[in-house]
Amino acid sequence: MSPDEKILSSAEIVQNANSFTSLYFSQRGLSGVSDEEKAKAFYDVQKVDYHIYGLEDKYITLPFYSIKEKRKLCICRSQPIHHFMAQTVCVLEIHQKRPLFKGCLR
């Protein structure tokens, strides 16, 4: 595990609500349910960290700075983050001062 990764439970992921978790739960019709129900639904579906690393109700998360929310988010490493990939590529390109793809830097 890298130093900036954190291990969070499904309840902690739900408690650290952000735009990614809001989108995740809204796409599954769980926007209006309790945090306990969201955590259970997340736990019932997300098993990658369990199968690969043997982590029971623990998920490896990566830091991600949301320009929209102006704060650092913890996003599950095993989750597809294609919703944020364009922003991530742009940040990486700016940080490395070179284009990674035909993206933000011109």
Write the pLDDT tens digit of every residue in 19-38. 888 888 998 999 999 999 99
pLDDT of residue 14: 95
Q: Give the residues of the chain that fall short of pLDDT 50.
A: 82-83, 92-95, 98-106
Burial label for 87, CB within 10 Å (0-12, 13-18, 19+), is: middle
pLDDT of residue 74: 85
Degrees to nearest 5, angle at CA 99 with 97 and 105: 80
